[in-house]
Amino acid sequence: MIDRVIDVPLSVLDLAPVAAGTTVGAALRHTTALARRTEELGYQRFWVAEHHNMPAIASSAPPVLLAHLAAATSTIRVGSGGVMLPNHAPLVVAEQFGTLEALHPGRVDLGIGRAPGTDQVTALALRRTMEGLSAENFPQELADLVNYFTGDRAGPITASPGRGNMPAIWLLGSSGFSAQLAGLLGLPFSFAHHFSSTNTLPALALYRQNFRPSRWLDKPYAMVAVNSICAETDEHAEWLSGPAALSFLRLRSGRPEPLATPEEAAAYPFSEAERQFSRERMRGQALGSPETVRKQLTDLLEQTRADELMLTTMVYDVDERIRSFELIAEHVADGLRRNG
C-alpha cells in the first residue's frame, strides 16, 4: 500500500495574554488583531481558552470573546479551546454556542474540556457546588449538551438558541480519559501537547483504538496543540520564550502574574530545578528559526500522525507574536505534510 501525502492544516490557540504594564483591554485588542492577521495568512481556525483567576490570561469568557472575534473576521473558524463543561450548566453552553452558530453559521467550533481550568476554590466560586467536577459526571453532561443541540431526546426543555444550531463539537484533553471518550462518541479530538507532552502518544493511541464512526466523523480526526515561537534566529526565539516560561513557573508555584517582559524574564534568578522544569516543558515543542521550527513540527507530525496542528504562542509583544505566525505561514506551512 502506498501512503498518500497529506497537507496538514495549521490553526491558532490564543490565551489573550495580558502583558505586564498593559491592560486587559489591550490584551483583547491584540487578540483581535492576531485573529484578523492569521485569517489573512490562511490559518484554519482561531480558538480561545477558558481560564480563571489567572492575571496573565484575558480569555476567561470564551463565548463573549468569540462573538467579537467572529464579527471582526469573515472566514476563519472561531472556537473554544475550550469551554470547561464542569464550570457550566449544559443548557447555558448550548444557548451560548447556539447563538454563535446562528449568527455565524458553519464557522463555530465548540471545544469541550473536562478540567475546571483553574484551582478548586475558583471552580467552586464558578459553579457554587463541587458536584459535577468529577470525571464520572462528564459523559452525562456532554450527552445532555449534545441533546440540547440535536433534540434527539424529547423533554420539557428546548434550548433556544441551541436546537438546530449545533456547532462542530470537539473533545479536548491532556490525558486518556477524553481521548477514549472522543473515540467512543466518534468526535474529533484535540490533545494538549503544549502542557502534557508525555501523554500525547498514549492518548492519541487510545483515541484511534476506541474510535467508532458517527454522524459527525467516519474516521478519527486528531489535532495536536503545540507551543510555537518562531523568529528570524534561534537565539531571538529563545529570548522571546522567556516570559512564557516564567509565567508558567509562577502559576505552578501559586504566584500568577501578568506576562513579564523578556528583559524581566532574562533577569529572573532561576534555580537549577526551575531551569530544568522550563526545559522539560519546552521539550517536543516548536521554538526557533523557521528552519528549526519546520524540523520540530515535522518531527511532531511523524510521531503523532496528527491531522492538524494548533499553534499557541505566548509572547510579550503583540507584533512579535504576529510575526511568529507570519514566519510559519510564509516559510514553514508549505513544507508540513504527513503520510496518511
Q: In whole angstroms, what separates CA 74 from the centre of its chain?
A: 20
Which of the four pLDDT bands, split at 50, 70 and 90, describes residue 50? very high
Can you read off the three cell numbers belonging to residue 5? Answer: 501525502
Bridge partners, residue 225, by sequence? 310
> What is the per-residue pLDDT across 55-72, written as a single tens digit (0 to 9) for each?
999 999 999 999 999 999
Look over the chain and give the mean of its residue pLDDT values, rounded to a whole number. Answer: 92
Phi, psi dihedrals of residue 190, rounded to the nearest 5°: -120, 125
Q: In whole angstroms, what separates CA 194 from the centre of its chain?
A: 9
Is the Cβ–Cβ distance between 202 and 218 less than 8 Å? Answer: no
> What is the per-residue pLDDT across 172-220, written as a single tens digit (0 to 9) for each?
999 999 999 999 999 999 999 998 999 999 999 999 999 999 999 999 9
Distance between CA atoms of residues 179 and 173, nearest Å: 6
Q: Is the pLDDT of residue 255 over 60?
A: yes
Whole-number pLDDT of residue 83 = 95
- Tell me the CATH architecture of domain 1-9+221-340: Alpha-Beta Barrel (3.20)
Q: Is the pLDDT of residue 117 over 70?
A: no
Among the residue ranges 138-147, 269-278, 322-331, the one predicted with the least confidence is: 269-278
Q: Is the pLDDT of residue 339 over 80?
A: no
Q: Is the pLDDT of residue 2 over 50?
A: no
Whole-number pLDDT of residue 23 = 97
CA 218, 104, 166: angle at the middle one, nearest 5?
40
Is the Cβ–Cβ distance between 244 and 219 less than 8 Å? Answer: no
